[in-house]
Amino acid sequence: MYLKNALCAATALTLITATSAFADTITIATVNNGDMIRMQGLADDFTKKTGHEVEWVTLEENVLRQRVTQDVAAKGGQFDIMTIGMYETPIWAANEWLVSLADLPASYDADDILPAMRAGLSHDGTLYAAPFYGESSMIMYRTDLMEKAGLTMPDAPTWSDVEAAAKAMTDKDNEIYGVCLRGKAGWGENMAFITTVANSFGARWFDENWKPQLDTPEWKAAVTFYNDLLNNYGPPGASTNGFNENLALFQQGKCGMWIDATVAASFVTNPNDSTVADSVGFALAPNKEGVDKRANWLWAWALAIPAGTQKEAAAKQFIEWATSKEYIELVASKEGWANVPPGARTSLYENPDYQKVPFAAMTLESINAANPDAPTVQPVPYVGIQYVAIPEWAGIGTAAGQEFSAMVAGQQTVEEALSKAQANTAEEMEAAGY
């Protein structure tokens, strides 16, 4: 009898220990974007399937970057999964700060990840972050205003087409501005956009010897065009407009065109929030006549595991769940196909249900038109389209962004902004030993 009791107790104890060792609680750092909010709402499905609990730390984008950098560099171990971007992934992977995702099971179908996203989130051919959603940039325009102006937007317009459309749609008396563009300073804000404009004018940030190229005629032409376009046909106070400010303007019907992230398409076509939901058209980001690069960027919000986490297995299971085909279907079943995380998997764009979504085709075409390994007309030593994937870029880009924002605000000329940005970049690069 005694032995039987002891055996029972021992079995129970083993079972409890085994269950608690199996069920982990993982901490995920993320941002408050719509797709991430949906993921948090659906995380119960993950817990049900695996037994692991999830704790969320949602932070403002800049704070998130600072926090996760600090934590991963100092090995603070506060997070088991981090939401990072395409800029950080190759740099952090090179520093051995991230766990490789090369061993995800075959059922995950890593080959289904869009090639451009896979390339941007890999280091030396190994995947280090799984794309949760991806984006490029494109033109979103008002079909009703274009019709009124007697114009049609080509699917692949040039900057001249954009300028002509902006001019025709601008009606300042009625507070309608032909084009809304980013002007707010920041490497991920105005510099993301300005760098793509520069690419589409044939400019590049650095030559093959890492010498800054902002003093070239291509840069001058690109920045002059951007500045004139925004000042002539843009909304007042454009130097402080970022993604959210322009989104608000577009949704209120104040912008004829908006060139920004493809992910915005689902917002501006949502009748609950947007007053112009049923009259939005999409076109590829423009290029300058004769230049074989378009002004579209490539970005992914991706999930990565910091090296040194104690819960690597559970973290991998979560990434597998959140970036899987099944997750996309789960979101579609609850919130409709227009709300699934876009831009990560090829199979999504082959899905006939998703093909009915008005912006699906143009999003895919925009993503495919972006090549982070060859972002410019002339050869460059870096990867990245709207950024340069080196650790110094955040500082260089932000400093240049402030100069260009001041230029849009009318505080300095194009020449002054460019020469200051060139001088600062040269100084930073020299200090960094390039």
Partner 1 sequence: MARAVTTRRKTINTVAAWAIGLLIFFPILWTILTSFKTEAQAINDPPLFLFFDWTLENYAVVQERSDYMRFLWNSVIIAGGSTVLGLIVAVPAAWSMAFVPSKRTKDILMWMLSTKMLPAVGVLYPIYLLFIEMGLLDTRIGLTIVLMLINLPIIVWMLYTYFKEIPGEILEAARMDGATLKEEILYILTPMAIPGIASTLLLNVILAWNEAFWTLNLTAAKAAPLTAFIASYSSPEGLFYAKLSAASTMAIAPILILGWFSQKQLVRGLTFGAVK
Output the furthest CA–CA distance in the chain (Å, rounded): 94
29 touches partner 1 by CB under 8 A: yes
244 touches partner 1 by CB under 8 A: yes
57 touches partner 1 by CB under 8 A: yes
Residue 301 or 349: the one with the smaller Cβ distance to partner 1 is: 301
Contact residue for partner 1 among 48, 111, 272, 292 (CB under 8 A): 272
Cβ count near 382 (within 10 Å): 17
List all residues 6 or more positions away from 384 whose beta carbon is below 8 Å from its beta carbon: 86, 87, 372, 375, 393
74 touches partner 1 by CB under 8 A: yes
Backbone phi, psi, residue 389, to 5°: -80, 65
Residue 138 or 247: the one with the smaller Cβ distance to partner 1 is: 247
Residue 108 or 299: the one with the smaller Cβ distance to partner 1 is: 299
60 touches partner 1 by CB under 8 A: yes
CB of 125 to partner 1, least distance (A): 29
Burial (Cβ within 10 Å: 0-12, 13-18, ≥19) of residue 167:
middle
Q: What is the CA 413 to chain-centroid distance, rounded?
A: 30
User: Which listed range, 139-147, 261-269, 285-293, 399-407, lies at the site for partner 1 (CB under 8 A)?
Assistant: 261-269
Question: Of 113, 119, 231, 104, which Cα lies nearest the Cα of 172?
Answer: 231
Task: Give residue for tokens 């501005």.
Answer: 177
Tokens at residue 337, please? 């196909």
Residue 214 or 302: the one with the smaller Cβ distance to partner 1 is: 302
Contact residue for partner 1 among 45, 47, 61, 347 (CB under 8 A): 61
Contact residue for partner 1 among 52, 67, 288, 293 (CB under 8 A): 67
List all residues 6 or more positions away from 413 whose beta carbon is below 8 Å from its beta carbon: 407
User: Which listed range, 75-83, 122-130, 357-365, 403-411, lies at the site for partner 1 (CB under 8 A)?
Assistant: 75-83
Binding mask 163-202 for partner 1 (x = CB under 8 A): ------------x------------x--------------
261 touches partner 1 by CB under 8 A: yes
248 touches partner 1 by CB under 8 A: yes
User: How far is CA 258 from each of CA 66, 120, 178, 406, rounded to the nearest angstrom?
Assistant: 29, 25, 9, 21
Binding residues for partner 1, rule CB under 8 A, total 42
- Give the whole-angstrom CA distance, residue 99 versus residue 121: 12
CB of 173 to partner 1, least distance (A): 15
Backbone phi, psi, residue 134, to 5°: -125, 160
In 33-68, which positions are buried (b, 16+ CB within 10 angstroms) versus exposed (e)? bebbebbeebbeebeeebebebeeeebeeeebbebb
Which spans of this chain sit near partner 1 (rule: CB under 8 A)?
Answer: 27, 29, 31-34, 37, 40-41, 55-61, 63, 66-67, 70, 74-79, 175, 188, 243-244, 247-248, 251-252, 254, 261, 263-264, 267, 272-273, 275
